[in-house]
Amino acid sequence: MSPYLSKASNVLSLTVPIILYIISKAYNKFLSHNSISMTEKQFAVSVTNLRKRIGNKDILKRLSFNVENGEVFGIVGPNGAGKTTTLRILSGIIKNFEGYVKIFGLNPVEAKQKGYISYMPEDAFPYEKLTGYENLDFYAELYAKGDKQLKEKYLKLGVEISNLGKRIYDKTAEYSRGMKRRLIIARTLMVMPKLSVLDEPTSALDVESAVRIRNIILDMARRYDMTIILSSHNMLEVEYLCDRITLINDGRVVASGKPEEIVKNTNSKNLEEAFIKLVFGDQ
């Protein structure tokens, strides 16, 4: 072999492994990127390192959790833990925050604009000068955006969900708290959002009204494969309604998983006892 060919052969023997290494790294990076994208598509909601700061105080301190499509997911914690702030971010109401939040692959504001999200705040009330039917009609018109058939579909479903009978035609100022809450739930769910966010849906209700609303939530989730995120202080309610939960305290996630898993992992009798242990320690 000529010295020139020998030298070229030596150069190739050194260069080829380097080229293959570079190609391999680039390919692995490509696979890794696509793997992350595929994982994100599996979730209705993806939250990573969510941080919200107001003044000098961190309200949320790097929260991370995922919600699967069609899941009833609970966000629980003591007063001041950051539950409502989290729900308002997911709903596209609070726009300034740090971290990664995706709702069906979109940022919350985009998802809200597309009509993917319907949000019910804890202190929501109907317009009391209107009848229950007029309240539903107003929101059906708003969400249908001129589509008469869609409006009628929303309105019919809203009347069905509220289950107020002839009282649907009475002024809501005459309604009990439970009746008002059922109307608000109907107003939120009748538009069949991909994601429904409910802040304390049964707050301050009597047993009968609370049971009605729980059944409505489960029925809508199953019937329309709706993803529902809710907050609640009632741990028995959370156990009954939620497929999985994230428990937060002082703006941090302290536990995530199925309610029965959290109960088992904390050696507790029920979720209420597990909650006490995780938030306040063994007492």
Backbone angle region of 212, left / alpha / beta, with phi > 0 → left and psi within -120 to 50 → alpha: alpha
At 192-212, the pLDDT tens digits run 999 999 999 998 889 999 999
| Nearest by Cα to 43 from 64, 70, 76, 63 | 70
Task: Round to whole Å and give the CA distance between 57 and 54.
Answer: 5
Query: Between 149 and 6, whose confidence is greater?
Result: 149
- The mean per-residue pLDDT over the stretch 247-260 comes to 97
| Nearest by Cα to 128 from 198, 189, 176 | 176
Query: Between 3 and 81, whose confidence is greater?
Result: 81
Q: What is the pLDDT of residue 18?
A: 56
Q: What is the pLDDT of residue 281?
A: 85
Quick one: what percent of the chain has pLDDT higher than 70? Answer: 85
* pLDDT tops 70 at residue 184: yes
* pLDDT tops 60 at residue 236: yes
- The mean per-residue pLDDT over the stretch 93-109 comes to 97
Taking the CA atoms of 113, 118, 123 and 124 in sequence, report the sign of the dihedral they define.
Answer: positive
The mean pLDDT value of the chain amounts to 89
* pLDDT tops 70 at residue 39: no
Confidence band, pLDDT 50/70/90 cuts, at residue 35 = very low
At 140-176, the pLDDT tens digits run 999 999 999 999 999 999 999 999 999 999 999 999 9
Other C-beta atoms within 10 Å of 100: how many? 13
- The mean per-residue pLDDT over the stretch 225-244 comes to 96
| Nearest by Cα to 232 from 117, 45, 125, 83 | 83
Fold annotation for 42-280: Rossmann fold (3.40.50)
Q: What is the pLDDT of residue 228?
A: 98
Query: Between 8 and 172, whose confidence is greater?
Result: 172
Q: What is the pLDDT of residue 226?
A: 96
**Residues 90, 108: contact at Cβ < 8 Å?**
yes
- The mean per-residue pLDDT over the stretch 69-93 comes to 97
- List the domain boundaries for the chain: 12-38, 42-280
Q: What is the pLDDT of residue 147?
A: 97
Q: What is the pLDDT of residue 169?
A: 98
- The mean per-residue pLDDT over the stretch 13-26 comes to 56
* pLDDT tops 90 at residue 91: yes
* pLDDT tops 50 at residue 40: no
- The mean per-residue pLDDT over the stretch 120-129 comes to 95
Quick one: what percent of the chain has pLDDT higher than 90? Answer: 82
